[in-house]
């Protein structure tokens, strides 16, 4: 699921900005509607805590969401090219209609992603003990990263035949066929990977028999959310961390295209190098660093490494050396893997098993909102950077965005220093016991 989301966004960003000449702000703004649907994660998580379908709490919602975002991914291609045609004609009515259609499509895509991913992460908590969860996080994200790498390589190979092509009549059918194939593969994989898993492991068995016996409604969930200041602190950290990590997301492939003059088949490989590095970072953190130094210390280390990688990303632009750029993306990936493994492990520690879906929804909301801001601000900040740079020097505009990311990562470290897991557990467990006593 995450693999399609990352490939989907990265490839379409490049096509819209560099091939179809969309304004970067329009691209970032429309894609951000996916993440603006993030508040639905709390609702979907709470529903999956309380409302089984055919005796299962999680799996049916995962499948419904996957079907939804696969369909939206397929429909995105004609909508994008319709909008591109309107922009080339300068027809203001069609431009407005196309822009609204883009935003609406990505909003529906975001709802479907929220419906699929929130119950999925809650299922992970259902199926694992507290000791098993850090390893589960490593495995899940390792598989996600492998999928991203394979997908990026597949895009590079598939799209090589249209390198340098800007004619929509050639681009659209090629991209449409590719997106259909990817969507079918992702949906089939989701069916295969989740089939019988919940029943086999007895996930949520107690909840299915009596969903209301241990779960709480949205009003009670809000009381839990307000019960500990640590929730606000960790929520803020996730926002800053994710924003600092993904602010470059909508402009990365354009950075390769405009500063390094790389063709589309090469810029898609940037995600592959990032993915390989992330996989290495996840494994290194899960097996060696986190067990030795602890989750909080490892998260700080990851943040500092990401900040250093962003500075190196700027330096690579001065050299114009594509080999150095790919090396930097690998280092950036390792840094992201180390930071993400520890951040996700902290996220699972800051979750009550009785309301796993609700808390996963809260943390997912933090990440999604910040990714939405990243997509809007990434494109918008690039436009601002271009206002004081020149067409002959695009590096200045991109460096402006990367340096702001580094500042955000420093702020994330400051907030992370205030996280206290024991305080969270004490506050929320006491509030949960009070709520359950009120039900009795």
CATH, residue 355: 1.20.1250.20
The CA radius of gyration of the chain, in Å to the nearest whole number, is 22
Residue 212 lies in a domain: no
**pLDDT at residue number 133:** 66
Q: Quick one: average pLDDT of 214-228? A: 64
Task: Please tell me the predicted confidence (pLDDT) of residue 439.
Answer: 53
Q: Which domain holds residue 421?
A: 2-200+217-439
Q: Is residue 210 part of a domain?
A: no
Q: Indicate if the pLDDT at residue 106 is higher than 50.
A: yes
Q: Would residue 209 count as lying in a domain?
A: no
Mean pLDDT of 73-102: 86
Instruction: Kindly indicate the confidence band of residue 13, based on its pLDDT and cuts at 50, 70 and 90.
Output: low
Q: Quick check: is 211 in a domain?
A: no
Say whether pTM exceeds 0.75. no
pLDDT at residue 110 in the model: 86
C-alpha 381/C-alpha 271 separation (Å) is 21
Spatial separation of the C-alpha atoms in residues 242 and 244, rounded to whole Å? 5
pLDDT of the residue at 212: 41
- Answer yes or no: is 207 within a domain: no
> Residues near 433 by Cβ (< 8 Å), separated by ≥ 6?
none
Predicted confidence band of residue 376 (pLDDT cuts 50, 70, 90): confident
Q: How far is CA 215 from CA 53, 85, 109, in A?
A: 16, 50, 28
Phi, psi torsion values for 418, nearest 5 degrees = -100, 0
The rounded distance, in Å, linking the Cα atoms of 213 and 196 is 24
By the 8 A CB rule, do 414 and 249 touch? no
Mean pLDDT confidence for 17-23: 69
Assigned domain for 301 exists = yes
Q: In the chain, pLDDT over 70 holds for what percent of residues?
A: 80
Quick: pLDDT tens for 142-182: 777 677 667 667 766 766 777 667 677 887 888 888 888 88
Q: What is the pLDDT of residue 200?
A: 45
Structure confidence at residue 208 (pLDDT):
40
Q: What is the mean pLDDT of residues 347-370?
A: 76
By C-alpha distance, which of 284, 368, 298, 398 is closest to 331?
284
Q: Is 138 left (phi over 0), alpha (psi -120 to 50) or beta?
A: alpha
Note the pLDDT tens digit of each residue in 396-406. 999 999 999 99
CA 35/CA 31 separation, integer angstroms: 8
- For residue 228, pLDDT over 70 is answered with yes
271-330 pLDDT per residue, tens: 778 878 888 888 888 778 888 888 899 999 999 999 999 999 999 999 999 999 999 999
Cα separation, 404 vs 383, whole angstroms: 14
In the block, tokens 């699929």 appear at 116
For 330-343, write each residue's pLDDT tens digit. 999 999 999 988 88
Res 95 pLDDT > 90? no
User: Which residues are CB-neighbours of 24 under 8 A, at least 6 positions away?
Assistant: 17, 250, 251, 254, 378, 379, 380, 382, 383
pLDDT at 304: 97
- Are 28 and 375 in contact, with CB atoms under 8 Å apart? yes
- The verdict on residue 401 lying in a domain is yes
- Is the model's pLDDT at 54 over the cut of 70? yes
Q: What is the DSSP letter of 285?
A: I
Calculate the average pLDDT of the chain.
81
Domain annotation covers residue 208: no
Question: Left if phi > 0, otherwise alpha if psi is -120 to 50, otherwise beta: which for 149?
Answer: alpha
**Sign of the torsion formed by the C-alpha atoms of 418, 368, 25 and 19:** positive
Work out the percent of the chain whose per-residue pLDDT is above 90. Answer: 23
Q: How many domains does the chain have?
A: 1
């Amino acid at each position: 699921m995450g693999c399609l989301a990352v490939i989907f966004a990265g490839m379409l960003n490049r096509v819209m900005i560099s091939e179809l000449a969309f304004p970067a702000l329009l691209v970032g703004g429309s894609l951000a509607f996916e993440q603006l649907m993030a508040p639905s994660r709390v609702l979907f998580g709470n529903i999956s805590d309380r409302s089984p379908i055919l005796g299962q709490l999680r799996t049916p919602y995962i499948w419904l969401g996957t079907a939804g975002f696969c369909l939206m991914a397929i429909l995105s291609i004609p909508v994008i090219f319709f909008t591109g045609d309107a922009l080339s004609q300068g027809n203001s009515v069609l431009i407005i209609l196309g822009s609204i259609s883009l935003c609406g499509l990505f909003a529906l895509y975001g709802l479907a992603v929220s419906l699929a991913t929130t119950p999925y992460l809650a299922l992970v908590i259902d199926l694992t003990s507290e000791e098993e969860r850090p390893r589960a996080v490593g495995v899940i994200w390792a598989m996600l990263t492998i999928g991203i790498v394979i997908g990026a390589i597949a895009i590079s190979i598939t799209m090589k035949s249209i390198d340098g092509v800007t004619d929509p009549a050639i681009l659209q059918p090629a991209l449409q066929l590719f997106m259909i194939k990817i969507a079918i593969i992702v949906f089939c994989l989701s069916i295969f990977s989740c089939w019988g898993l919940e029943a086999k492991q007895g996930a949520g068995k107690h909840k299915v028999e009596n969903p209301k016996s241990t779960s709480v409604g949205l009003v009670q969930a809000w009381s839990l959310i307000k019960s500990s200041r640590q929730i606000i602190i960790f929520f803020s950290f996730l926002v800053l961390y994710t924003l600092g990590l993904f602010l470059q997301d909508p402009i990365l492939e354009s950075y390769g295209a405009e500063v390094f003059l790389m063709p589309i088949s090469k810029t898609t490989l940037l995600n592959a190098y990032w993915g390989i590095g992330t996989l290495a970072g996840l494994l290194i953190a899960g097996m060696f660093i986190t067990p030795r130094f602890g989750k909080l210390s490892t998260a700080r280390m990851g943040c500092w490494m990401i900040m250093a990688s962003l500075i190196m990303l700027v330096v690579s632009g001065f050299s114009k050396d594509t080999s150095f750029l790919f090396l930097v993306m690998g280092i950036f990936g390792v840094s992201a893997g180390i930071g993400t493994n520890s951040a996700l492990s902290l996220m699972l520690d800051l979750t009550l098993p009785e309301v796993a879906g609700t808390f996963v929804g809260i943390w997912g909301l933090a990440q999604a909102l910040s990714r939405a801001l990243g997509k809007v601000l990434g494109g918008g900040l690039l436009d601002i950077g271009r206002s004081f740079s020149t067409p002959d020097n695009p590096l200045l505009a991109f460096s402006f965005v990367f340096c702001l990311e580094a500042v955000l990562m420093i702020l994330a470290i400051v907030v992370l220093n205030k996280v206290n897991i024991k305080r969270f557990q004490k506050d929320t467990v006491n509030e949960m016991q009070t709520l359950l006593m009120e039900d009795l």
